[in-house]
């Protein structure tokens, strides 16, 4: 499945580092999402973009900064993270019609913050 791709698949970073996660969708969708999955917890929505505009920020700390240059690409810029930010970060995309809308996920980036 190459519909939604994410790079890198694994990332280890120190608390003072700056890194970026990349997501690309090849499905012609207009909405893209960032989710966080911590151990033993449900997927938590972080950000939603519809037609390149951010439509949801789920009270995410400012050390996470999303960027959506076009409907096919989504980035998550990371800086001065904390060890508790270690998690699986998932990107998803959907048609973005604002109604019943199935989201398709990428494989995720496993982030470890030392």
Partner 1 sequence: DQQVKQNSPSLSVQEGRISILNCDYTNSMFDYFLWYKKYPAEGPTFLISISSIKDKNEDGRFTVFLNKSAKHLSLHIVPSQPGDSAVYFCAASPVIGSGNTGKLIFGQGTTLQVKP
- Using CB under 8 A as the binding rule, whether residue 75 contacts partner 1 is answered as no
- Using CB under 8 A as the binding rule, whether residue 51 contacts partner 1 is answered as no
CA dihedral (46, 108, 6, 51) in degrees, to 10, reads -30
Residue closer to partner 1, measured from CB, 62 or 102: 102
Q: Return the structure tokens found at 37.
A: 């999955």
Contact 15, 84 (CB under 8 A): no
- Using CB under 8 A as the binding rule, whether residue 86 contacts partner 1 is answered as no
CA dihedral (96, 53, 28, 103) in degrees, to 10, reads -40
Residue closer to partner 1, measured from CB, 34 or 113: 34
Which parts of this chain interact with partner 1 (CB under 8 A)? Answer: 1, 4, 6, 31, 33, 40-43, 45, 48, 50, 55-56, 90, 92, 94, 96-108, 110
């Amino acid at each position: 499945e190459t519909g939604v791709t994410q790079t890198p698949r694994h990332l280890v970073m120190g608390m003072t580092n700056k890194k970026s996660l990349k997501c690309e969708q090849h499905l012609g969708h207009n909405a893209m999402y960032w989710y966080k999955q911590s151990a033993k917890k449900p997927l938590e929505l972080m950000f939603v973009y519809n037609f390149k505009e951010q439509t949801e920020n789920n009270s995410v700390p400012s050390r996470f900064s999303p960027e959506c240059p076009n409907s096919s690409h989504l980035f998550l810029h990371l800086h001065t993270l904390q060890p508790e930010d270690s998690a699986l970060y998932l990107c998803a995309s959907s048609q973005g019609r604002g109604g019943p809308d199935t989201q398709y996920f990428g494989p995720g980036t496993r982030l470890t913050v030392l």
